[in-house]
Amino acid sequence: MSHNTFGHLFRVTTWGESHGPALGCVIDGCPPRIPLHEADIQPWLDRRRPGQSKFTTQRAEPDQVRILSGTFEGLTTGTPIALMIENVDARSKDYGDIAQKFRPGHADLTYDLKYGIRDWRGGGRSSARETAARVAAGAVARKVLGPGVTIRGALVQMGPHGLDRGRWDWDEVARNPFFCPDPAAAAQWEEFLAGVRKQGSSCGAVIEVVAEGAPPGLGAPIYAKLDADLAAALMGINAVKGVEIGDGFAAASLSGEANADEMRMLNDGTIRFDSNHAGGVLGGISTGQPIVARFAVKPTSSILAPRHTVDRAGHDTEIATKGRHDPCVGIRAVPVGEAMMACVLADHLLRHRAQNPDAPATARLPRPGMALPARSE
């Protein structure tokens, strides 16, 4: 990962500011002859789109994606895929106050310290609006992974409120505005968030993303371990402060015996784990089990309650952020987390295939004989 590009073979470069004419991304390294139309990407963007419930910002962005290059007659060609989303509802006037003041918790100050200039309109480049480009890229990554890999995300904690994993139902995720898999928790959260919103306050969240069907062998030790790349990908989402794989921080409290994911042979010659404390990754390489990651999103920094801050002229002052904001930015981070997982897996699928073209797609051992690198025909 480097500056505005991530990935090593499946590479995504994003660009654009919140209130500029457009934003987008260039996807490089995509395999050729994959069917790809705008209609394959749009539904994922629609899930992230603002203004879909009273709990997300009322900014009305259609987030219509255009494919500008890299496909021909409905198929990818192996050349860079440029995607563009025009900004439509960019009311810069809402943001006049923040041109001179630094909002606590925002990147306003650090961009100014680093660059000596910042596009203050809607947060400019540091706006979560940039994540639309990630979601678009994630839609392409899913196509690379193919239908055998399923990547799903859910909110598992809103503010201090968790959920009951015994009631987990993936279908429920689409039925409430919180991507919550537990209908009872969703009801509780709705009440909670309405209160937060009424007070002009905000709250944080924890999101879980699970990839099922990914082959074993993904990950490039030592410094591009699958879990390390996932950690960077998820920590790089706006407002994220923590990342876990599998049991995460809870693993520190387990005994070695409890934490061990024991293995058994299945009749079909594949290996089954009794548990998945590891979250599908051992030694930086996928095991073939579900890959489980969680990330924590801090409460939205834009709140109505005034906070002490300073201005560009060097004076103490206060700021209260009006404008249109999500009381819980964590909600819309769910499709973003899924997209980042998809991009990381697609990249590692290509990397793995380059070095180990004869690796098995399931946990099956041993590889018979010795395979010299052979060229296909």
Comparing CA positions, the residue from 147, 99, 87, 151 lying closest to residue 123 is 99
Q: Which of 50, 138, 330, 337 binds a second copy (CB under 8 A)?
A: 330
Q: Which of 51, 168, 232, 276 binds a second copy (CB under 8 A)?
A: 232
C-alpha to C-alpha distances, 297 to 21, 203, 243, 306, 330, nearest whole angstrom: 28, 9, 10, 22, 6
Cβ count near 2 (within 10 Å): 8
Binding mask 192-211 for a second copy (x = CB under 8 A): ----x----xxxxxx-----
Element (H, E) at 84: strand 81-86
Q: Is 63 left (phi over 0), alpha (psi -120 to 50) or beta?
A: left
Please, which of residues 300-319 interact with a second copy by CB under 8 A?
A: 300-303, 305, 307-310, 312-316
Shortest reach from residue 336's CB to a second copy, in Å = 12
Binding mask 159-188 for a second copy (x = CB under 8 A): xx----------------------------
94, two tokens: 């809402």
Shortest reach from residue 363's CB to a second copy, in Å = 6
Shortest reach from residue 124's CB to a second copy, in Å = 7
Near a second copy by CB under 8 A, which window of 2-10, 48-56, 178-186, 331-339? 2-10
Torsion over CA of 155, 160, 163 and 165, rounded to 10 degrees? 90
C-alpha 74/C-alpha 301 separation (Å) is 42
Q: Which of 44, 111, 179, 189 binds a second copy (CB under 8 A)?
A: 111
Decide if residue 99 touches a second copy (CB under 8 A).
Answer: no
Decide if residue 290 touches a second copy (CB under 8 A).
Answer: no
Torsion over CA of 168, 144, 243 and 108, rounded to 10 degrees? -120
Only one residue has tokens 């596009």, namely: 119
Decide if residue 289 touches a second copy (CB under 8 A).
Answer: no
Please, which of residues 4-33 interact with a second copy by CB under 8 A?
A: 4-6, 8-9, 11, 13-17, 20-24, 26, 28-33
Decide if residue 353 touches a second copy (CB under 8 A).
Answer: yes
Element (H, E) at 14: strand 11-16
Q: Which of 219, 336, 341, 345 binds a second copy (CB under 8 A)?
A: 219
C-alpha 282/C-alpha 176 separation (Å) is 35
Q: Which of 175, 187, 236, 322 binds a second copy (CB under 8 A)?
A: 236
Please, which of residues 248-277 interact with a second copy by CB under 8 A?
A: 248-249, 251-265, 269, 271, 274, 277
Shortest reach from residue 321's CB to a second copy, in Å = 9
* DSSP codes of every residue in 260-294: ---EEE-TTSBEEES--TTTTEETTEE-SSPEEEE
